[in-house]
Structure 1
Amino acid sequence: MSKKTSYLLGILFTIIIGTLLYCYFCDDCHCFPNGEEVVTEDTNNIVEPEVIPATRNAFAISDADGDFNIKINDNFNFKTSNFSIIEPISTGVTAEVVKLKDYLQLNPLKDIDITGYYRNDETNTSAYPNLGLARANTVKNYLISQGIPSKQIDTHGQLNDDINPDNSGTLYGPLKFGIVTFEDGNTDEALATACDAIRKNPLVLYFKTGEAQISLTAEQRQMIADMSRCVDKLGVKIQVVGHTDNTGNADANMKLGQGRADFAKTYLVRNGILNDNVEASSKGQTEPIADNTTEEGRTKNRRTVITIN
């Protein structure tokens, strides 16, 4: 190859390389007629996660059959997967609760209706069928402490995934309130039936005194909720009685049964049953329901029975 030819090939090669580099670095150039443009990733456009604003429900109560109406931009607040009211409760809420108490005292045939909301992604840490009912029950206990009779408070729970917590996991007012008016002499037959069913078939728990928690089935949680309503509406007490097998000393077993009853009572109180509404006692080994000569029988006798009087 001659020197001139080599020189021309070098020029051609330089032109080709320069053209390719120009097309590569030029964003607005159309060097590829078939639309096969070089696409580079834009690392500067970072998609921010969608920010969902927290739901903030007002403390609002109105009576469609009367002249009571309150609404303020405060409420009872809760942490997610929790049913304890976040303290302190605002002075605005406490002031409106006084108005509610005065109104209900003047109208004994009216009830305050509380519906607690809960989200599907929350963990139910209560003894109630759902966190919404547990939250409503906690608010009920606060109203009772402020002088509102338990007979004039109704509680419910409702799934509501439209309530959103803030970044700290706080739910602002996951509740709905209303006023219900009853006719004079109205009786709740469904409640009476539920209370009678508890007396006939009490809640029976089998656990050791040292256990840190009680695991309830869905049916047992409903029984706790029914007991709470029986206490509120009928003025009955919850009776917790501890039982043992006949192993060991009778006096020691009486104390053991009392320990089991006290443990169950503590669990109920921690889950929103007022302390004065729960009575704990022991029968020790005096009331077996199965044969103490077998392990199976002794297991059945080591029980705690929860009912109402």
Structure 2
Amino acid sequence: MSKKTSYLLGILLTIIIGTILYWWLCCNCCNAESCDHKKGDEKTIVETPNVMEATLNPFSIKDSDYALKSNDNFNFKDSSFRILEPVSEELKNAVLNLKTYFDENPSKRVSIAGYYTNEETNNSAYPNLGLARANAVKNYFVTQGVSSKIMDTEGELKDSMIADENKIFFGPVHYELFAVSEDDKANDEVLKVACEALKTNPLVLYFNTGEAQINLTTAQREKIANISRCVDKIGVKVLVVGHTDNTGNAANNVMLGQQRADFAKSYLIQNGILSTNIEAASKGPNEPISDNASEAGKAKNRRTVVTIN
């Protein structure tokens, strides 16, 4: 091989090695954006948050010869059974329209079902949050002149329901119109029996006067639901009576018993029983159910009894 050929091969080999080294150093030591071969391969991945749309249930109620719809409905915060204010004018007019329909069709009734989810906390006195919401809507209807006697309330689990970013449920309530049947009359008789049972086996609460919450058992929640139904359907009054033990001055104990009764009354009002349907009184130490000679007996006597009359 001639010197000239060797010289040319050396130059070519130098160019090849230099190109390889440049490529290698560029892609491993420099900014990745300076590598042309990576520019085409790299892709910017932007993750889109998985935001679920809030469930919207409009106010809708219909019968064979009647239909009423509003884009608005009663709204509730997550884990709450209090209607969010203000109620829209459109919804107010829809309820008044419904009242007119009932006035003209006395055989018609309405079932109000309140929805709730398993993720919510039931802070009401009712067996479930849906029933508490249905009772709140029922009470609003009552304020607009609709008789509580023509309304049935129930709670329904609906985990498919989605709140918005502010944890508001839009219209977690469903309505059904129906006509009075023989079955409904039979159910009324069953309710009357349940109401009579409350008189002999009332709801008894034990709590301290300063408490803001009453921890209820499942059986006690059912009793409050039945008390509410008895008030709505039969027109009875709720009687709340506070009792004390015999410690201290008798007159002061009567006052203490009244404070306990008033607190229980306030609790029932917060849970949807209208104040006009509740009477609160005190028996003080005058009707003990146990011996005041022991602490256990005194604890039993410090009670508030909720019944109907």
Asked if these proteins are the same fold (TM beyond 0.5), I'd say yes
Query: Helix, strand or coil: the match of 2:82?
Result: coil
Asked if 2 retains the 8 angstrom alpha-carbon contact of 1:57 and 1:173, the reply is: yes
Question: What is the alpha-carbon distance in structure 1 between the residues aligned to residue 272 and residue 68 of structure 2?
Answer: 26
Partner of 2:91: 93
> Comparing 258-267 with 187-196, which one deviates more in the overlay?
187-196
Alpha-carbon deviation of 1:14?
Answer: 6.3
Select the residue among 142, 145, 155 that pairs with 2:143.
145
* 1:98-247 matches, cutoff 5 A: 98-183=96-181, 186-188=185-187, 189-247=189-247
Gaps of 5+ in 2: 1-9
> Comparing 11-20 with 87-96, which one deviates more in the overlay?
11-20
Question: What is the alpha-carbon distance in structure 1 between the residues aligned to residue 305 and residue 146 of structure 2?
Answer: 31
Cα deviation code 1:248-292 (max 9, x no counterpart): 111111111011000000010011110011111011111111110
Partner of 1:287: 287
Partner of 1:308: 308
Residue 46 to residue 190, structure 1, CA distance change in 2 (3 Å): farther
Partner of 2:51: 51
Query: Helix, strand or coil: the match of 1:186?
Result: helix
Alpha-carbon deviation of 1:17?
Answer: 4.5
Cα deviation code 1:220-249 (max 9, x no counterpart): 111111110010000001111100001111
Alpha-carbon deviation of 1:15?
Answer: 6.8
Matched, 1:262 2:262: yes
Alpha-carbon deviation of 1:123?
Answer: 1.1
Cα deviation code 1:18-58 (max 9, x no counterpart): 454466566858xxxxxxxxx98x6x423232111111111
Paired amino acid for 1:186: K
Query: Helix, strand or coil: the match of 2:262?
Result: helix
Question: What is the alpha-carbon distance in structure 1 between the residues aligned to residue 259 and residue 27 of structure 2?
Answer: 84
Gaps of 5+ in 1: 1-6, 30-38
Alpha-carbon deviation of 1:197?
Answer: 2.5
Question: What is the alpha-carbon distance in structure 1 between the residues aligned to residue 27 and residue 90 of structure 2?
Answer: 69
Partner of 1:250: 250
Query: Helix, strand or coil: the match of 1:83?
Result: coil
Alpha-carbon deviation of 1:192?
Answer: 2.1
Question: What is the alpha-carbon distance in structure 2 between the residues aligned to residue 46 and residue 177 of structure 1?
Answer: 43
Alpha-carbon deviation of 1:108?
Answer: 2.1
Count of residues in Structure 1 that have an aligned counterpart in Structure 2 = 289
Question: What is the alpha-carbon distance in structure 2 between the residues aligned to residue 144 and residue 19 of structure 1?
Answer: 82
TM-score by length of 1: 0.86
Partner of 1:4: none
Partner of 2:6: none
Asked if 2 retains the 8 angstrom alpha-carbon contact of 1:112 and 1:179, the reply is: yes
Cα deviation code 1:174-199 (max 9, x no counterpart): 11001121137924233123222322
Cα deviation code 1:1-21 (max 9, x no counterpart): xxxxxx99xx79867644544
Asked if 2 retains the 8 angstrom alpha-carbon contact of 1:109 and 1:183, the reply is: no
> Over aligned residues, Cα RMSD in angstroms?
2.3
Question: What is the alpha-carbon distance in structure 1 between the residues aligned to residue 185 and residue 101 of structure 2?
Answer: 20
Paired amino acid for 2:98: L
Aligned-residue identity in percent? 53
> Comparing 283-292 with 91-100, which one deviates more in the overlay?
91-100
TM-score by length of 2: 0.86
Asked if 2 retains the 8 angstrom alpha-carbon contact of 1:118 and 1:157, the reply is: yes
Asked if 2 retains the 8 angstrom alpha-carbon contact of 1:241 and 1:258, the reply is: yes
Paired amino acid for 1:152: I
Question: What is the alpha-carbon distance in structure 2 between the residues aligned to residue 282 and residue 132 of structure 1?
Answer: 33
